[in-house]
Structure 1
Amino acid sequence: MKQTSVVRNLTLWSVDRQPIDTFIRYDIADPYAVTLEFVDDHGRTTVSYLFGRELLIDGLHELVGQDLVVVGPHDADGYTTLSLTPEHGALPMDFYVATAVLTEFVEASCQLVASGSERFHLSIDQVIAHLLHGRWAA
């Protein structure tokens, strides 16, 4: 059976150096996006962010994004900054993550769907369902 998704446990570090366990997910059903999920102590998702995979790819090399999600290299070698804003007008939450872990995740996602070829992996039925219902159909 062909692999259709990539999921990695991702430890984010807050500015006060507290580790926060999250999961980052890529699925070919939504080939342009990645999902970052914050989980509680029981493994249940409490908050999730959906943002463009290209933002993550570009953010490994330069500061990109605006508003809700910003990604870019950190001053310390080997780390990437991830700035998330919970809602418009709120203060952003800044996190740091090991660049090697993000790079491995991006490479694994690109093994499923090469960057730039996402449009060939979209189902017209899924696109219509998304437009009509505001969400991706499973």
Structure 2
Amino acid sequence: MISSVHKTLVMELMSGMSGRFPVLTHLEYDATDPFAVTASFSHEGRLLAQWRLDRQMLAEGLLGPVGEGDVRLRPQSTGVWHELRLELFGDAHPDGGRHHAVILAWAPAVASFLEETYEVVELGSETVGVDDFLAEVIGNA
């Protein structure tokens, strides 16, 4: 039985007024953490950032705006091109602002990845081993 899904996509990082730059993105889903998708962003062999995204939020972001905190997603269309806009907010700057990245993904590729994850763990059937989690937390205290 398959317990994980991996997909590599080229997404685009928005850079101020300069335009878009390609970013290699590795999406990973593992049944042992059924609610999360890990997105690793790299450029020229260098890891730029790694984010853990909520799988359901990623799916909802393909349909409409979602998120209020560090991760915000929404669909974006430019003619026939349908994209998923990911806004990621990081650590604070000394001036009080926050690091902020906007990444655009081809929406059908993200939807295809999500469909593959649903073959591993069906939407709505995710479970968390609460007893195992509590035992681990108490054991590390």
Please tell me the TM-score bracket, short chain as reference.
0.7 to 0.9
Q: Which runs of 5+ in 2 are unaligned?
A: none
Instruction: Verify: 1:14 aligned to 2:13, yes or no.
Output: yes
Aligned to 1:75: 77
- CA 1:96–1:132 in 2, change beyond 3 Å: closer, same or farther? farther
SS of 1:66's partner is: coil
Using a 3 Å threshold, how does the CA distance of structure 1 residues 48 and 97 change in structure 2: closer, same or farther?
Answer: same
1:7-46 to 2 correspondences below 5 Å: 7-15=6-14, 16-39=19-42, 41-42=44-45, 45-46=47-48
Provide the residue aligned with 1:57 in structure 2: 59
Greater fraction strand:
2
Contact 1:68 1:87 in 2 (8 A): no
Q: 1:75 to 1:57 in 2, by over 3 A?
A: same
Amino-acid identity (%): 26
CA RMSD of aligned residues (A): 2.3
The count of residues paired between Structure 1 and Structure 2 equals 130
Contact 2:67 2:73 (C-alpha < 8 Å) held by counterparts? yes
Amino acid at match of 2:58: L
Structure 1, unmatched stretches of 5+, are none
Query: 2:133 is paired with a residue of what secondary structure?
Result: helix
Question: 2 CA distance for matches of 1:33 and 1:130?
Answer: 19
Q: CA deviation at 1:41?
A: 3.4
Q: Does 1:116 align with 2:124?
A: yes
> What is the aligned partner in structure 1 of residue 103 from structure 2?
95
Taking structure 1 as the reference length, what is the TM-score of the superposition?
Answer: 0.82
- The structure with the larger Rg is 2
